[in-house]
Amino acid sequence: MTIIVTGGAGFIGSNFIFHMLRKDPQYRIVCVDKLTYAGNLSTLESVTGNPNFRFVKLDICDRAGVFALFEEEKPDVVVNFAAESHVDRSIENPEVFLQTNIIGTSVLMDACRKYKAERFHQVSTDEVYGDLPLDCPDLFFTEETPLHTSSPYSSSKAAADLLALSYYRTFGLPVTISRCSNNYGPYHFPEKLIPLMIANALSDKPLPVYGKGENVRDWLYVEDHCKAIDLIIHKGRVGEVYNVGGHNEMKNIDIVKLICKELGKPEGLISFVADRKGHDMRYAIDPTKIHNELGWLPETKFADGIKKTIKWYLENEAWWKPIVSGN
């Protein structure tokens, strides 16, 4: 089986590649990545010598390039991780997000149609649902929750989801979609909350927290997410959306304090900054559907996953320090 993984030099995409190559040596993985600021070839060093792995530098918006690659590889499955994904950046420059997240997705699906891929899987986000109130802890996002986006980023992802479902209905393209909660783990780009706090704390730099840090997120260990996608592309029903959540809700401020404690750093490093525009208060996913249909449940408790993540960053400074320094 040949699987094209777009955005494979990024955080979740690279972890998915590692998972698939470990799982079955019969898989051929073709990694496509534009290598923007968040894509890092050094992330893939451990698999570059694998005969079943190929890296192609390519922008998914490059229609001619994408079609030429599909002509050559004839992929069975395409998993689309490629996306602009940082909310703050989407507020500063929405157009880049519309181009990559919507147009790029359409290019990939057109190529899947022409070359008859058996599955196109769109990796989406729980942010397409908007947010939940803090005072209603029994409310969760389900696959039936209406889309109610808050940022150019989440709007672009919601648009891509709707486009994918339209390709299923109009063209019969075998599409599946997963909407995940916040991921964490190895190779997480250091602009995101957890790796940023770890990197700054290790350098005794201020730990910037939006508002009062009361925003709640549902945290999903990246390896658990990869296992969920693996199940969906093999056993999931086409035309369906699957929510993938970690059942690990945490306030941002509590995560930052936990990182300080684990690293032996003072909470005095915490610095509260002006809140983000349109900042969602709470995300929480109900993964009942994927559990009932595919048997998936998150395996990693946050208390264990955060320790593994901190340990990884302590042992892999050679990966993240050049990113933080700008080198």
State the catalytic residues: 126-127, 153
274, 243, 241, 60: which is closest to 168 by C-alpha? Answer: 241
Give the relative orientation of helices 222-235 and 11-23 as an angle to the nearest 10 degrees: 60
The length of the chain in residues reads: 327
Strands 77-80 and 2-6: what pairing? parallel
Question: Virtual CA dihedral for 177, 179, 184, 187, nearest 10 degrees?
Answer: 30
3-state helix vs strand vs coil in the chain, percent to 5: 45, 20, 35
Q: Which two structure tokens, joined as six digits, stand for 9? A: 């030099």
Give dist(CA 296, CA 216) in Å, integer: 23
Question: Is 149 in contact with 108 (CB distance < 8 Å)?
Answer: no
Question: Is 29 in contact with 52 (CB distance < 8 Å)?
Answer: yes
